[in-house]
Structure 1
Amino acid sequence: MAIAPALIDRHGRTIRYLRVSVTDRCDLRCRYCMAEKMTFLPREQLLALEEIALIAERFIARGVTKIRLTGGEPLVRRDAIDLVWRLGRQVGHGLDELTMTTNGTRLAEHAGTLADAGVRRINVSLDSRDPATFRHITRHGDVAQVLDGISAARAAGLAVKINMVALKGLNEHEIPSILEWAGTNGMDLTLIETMPLGAIDEDRADRFLPLTEVFETLSQRFTLIRDPHSSGGPARYWRVAETGARLGLISPLTGNFCESCNRVRLTTEGKLFTCLGHEDQVDLKAAIRTGGLAAVDAAIDAALAAKPARHDFSVERGAAPAVGRHMSVTGG
């Protein structure tokens, strides 16, 4: 098939980054992400591994240089490692980087294989190092399991970045110590504002912590120097002089970054979302099953022609979520 045109949306933004949710399932139930009782997609509705790979390879052919595998928790899908092996072969052949975001619970088992398959760095979601707080946030998780996974990843040669959702009244007091712990152990830390995606069992306004406030607090303890580094995503970075590590901030509410959006998201069901904060999507599963890659190209083009300029996130008491789907559907 002839090479299709580059991926440019109607606002002139070039798409270089594809996030793939390989499953909507997760073995944790983080309070800001999921309801305690979730209904997941039947397995027969999911894209087959071969279909995910073909769609991802088509995106690479059209100019995507970074792919991140997400979930839910990607490592709970049994064939996720097979997908890593296949896409890992594309690194250096159009794809610059294959990465993964994981909650770390199964990382001790799979870290070595991920490294062998071509993954060079991963993001690990860790909102607290305190066992009781971690168990409360995740509803039943064991933080020791995650810390063991992080150790295994570093031993396998993977660069690890810690992702931490800043939660008022839950983990805000831990942010300075986690920044110091991460930096001392050669890991960067990215802080994330909670996002209004999907109905949960709490009011997000009670836990929303503006990163502008967090940054001001951290600046009183650490020397933070603006760093032009970019990982290809929305984070803005500062170098922490005391440790040499980086602090990243993802602030969709207090520091909107949509003008530079370079991302689209493929769900495990085959829906392509061009914005995390909107419901607009095209069905790539239907496209690939009825018309092959030509139909996939046409559907992608239609999605980019409708990509919104920005999200409309707002966290106000009693407000409905920006979209009905949970974060686990389109990837954390």
Structure 2
Amino acid sequence: MLQDKFGRRFHYLRLSITDVCNFSCEYCLPDGYQCDTDRDFLSLEEITHIASAFAQLGTSKIRITGGEPSLRKDLPQVIQACANTQGIKHVAMTTNGYKLPDHIDSWVEAGLTSMNISIDSLDPRMFASITGHDKLDVILRGIDRAIELGITVKVNAVLMRHFNQGELKTFLNWLKTTPLTLRFIELMQTGDNQLFFDKNHTSGQPIKDQLIADGWQQIVRDKTAGPAQEFSHPDYQGRIGLIMPYSKDFCATCNRLRISALGKLHLCLFSDQGLDIRQFIADGDTQRLQDELSTLLGDKKSTHFLHDGYTGATKHLAMLGG
């Protein structure tokens, strides 16, 4: 089992397969994707090796991320490679959802078990303003199909003071009859969004206080779960989650590591830099890769230091898919 010096165990790998994204979200890529690195992304063979090495070290969940992972034509093969790896019980994906109606069936057939979709507003005009694309209806149609197919669906909404802070009631009405989990995520500062962060950051604590006052009950987290505090209510088919990275002891339950699309290990979303392990991935020697992972894990810090305004090497969230 991969374990750091603070006793945290890592059951969960977030694996980026591209840093390209076709959306231009205000908080991430307001000017659209800029190709500022070599696009020598991990091959299917390398992805298969990574999945096997991590599974043998106790990882049971892999989340496929981007950029936007559906931009890779071999995405079904990537999902299948992860799903067919002994020891991997959950294959998840984070997507902007624009390809959902046309491709969700093939992804589920390949072995996808859950999916996170970004929807920062249920108002079509505001959605288009935030993302640069008038695709909300298409994405909602795809979500309905995903639910029909029986996979776990979560929707991510980044809290932004001047964009969607007043939409809680709209989201709650949606959850009355929609069996998914909506997660509100506090806006995080990255290397290139300082002004936007200062204008739009808002805490999720008032929402948590309101949910508790309205009878929502907190759910116990699974060992492979992400960092959200999740709540349920008997009058709602859906659930609500809150991801509050600026809250006390947020990092105490960290259970995930990240590998970028270029084969770099990130011990934290806000690490000083990615640690290049591509040579250990490419040579196919599982033991060497596992030994390197265990060694590098010794440098993982106790916290992300976001409270101090530290953003590490993370210029924008599309670099690692959050």
TM over 0.5: yes
Of 139, 143, 150, 1:146 maps to: 139
Question: 1:291: Cα distance to partner?
Answer: 7.2
**Structure 1 CA distance for aligned equivalents of residues 317 and 3 of structure 2:** 25
Question: Within 5 A, what are the aligned runs for 1:8-157?
Answer: 8-40=3-35, 44-90=39-85, 93-157=86-150
Matches within 5 A, 1:134-213: 134-200=127-193, 202-213=195-206
User: Quick one: distance in 1 between partners of 2:277 and 2:287?
Assistant: 11
Change (3 A) 1:260 1:103: same
> In structure 1, how many angstroms separate the alpha carbons of the residues matched to 2:190 and 2:209?
27
Give RMSD over aligned pairs.
2.1
- Alpha carbons 2:15, 2:260 under 8 Å: kept: yes
Label 1:320 to 1:97 Cα distance change in 2 as closer, same or farther (>3 A).
closer
1:303 maps onto 2:293 in alignment: no
Shift of residue 37, structure 1, vs aligned partner: 4.1
> Which range moves more in the overlay, 101-110 or 195-204?
195-204
Moved more, 243-252 or 284-293: 284-293
- Matched residues in 2 for 1:244 and 1:156: separation? 17
Structure 1 equivalent of residue 218 of structure 2: 226
Q: Percent identity?
A: 31
- The answer on whether the counterparts of 1:196 and 1:323 sit within 8 Å (CA) in structure 2 is no
TM-score normalized with structure 1 length: 0.90
**Stretches of structure 2 lacking an aligned partner (at least 5 in a row):** none
**Distance in 2 separating the partners of 1:185 and 1:291:** 44
CA distances 1:146-174 after superposition (whole Å, capped 9, x unpaired): 11221221232222111111111211111
The 8 Å contact of residues 314 and 322 in structure 1, kept in 2 or not, is answered as no
Contact 1:31 1:200 (C-alpha < 8 Å) held by counterparts: no
Is the 8 Å Cα contact of residues 20 and 33 (structure 2) preserved in structure 1? no
After the TM superposition, which segments of 4 or more aligned residues of structure 1 sit over 6 Å from their partners? none
- Aligned partner letter, 1:20: L
Residue in structure 1 matched with residue 317 of structure 2 by the alignment: 327
TM-score after normalising by structure 2: 0.92
Number of residues of Structure 1 aligned to a counterpart in Structure 2 = 321
The 1:298/1:320 distance shift into structure 2, 3 A limit, reads: closer
Q: Report if the CA contact (8 A) 1:198-1:327 is conserved.
A: no
Matches of 1:117 and 1:23 in 2, distance apart?
19
Displacement after TM superposition at 1:248 (Å): 1.0
The aligned counterpart of 1:267 is 260
Gaps of 5+ in 1: 1-5
Paired residues of 1:35 and 1:201 also in contact (CA < 8 A): no
Q: Aligned in 2, Cα 1:183/1:115: closer, same or farther, shift over 3 Å?
A: farther
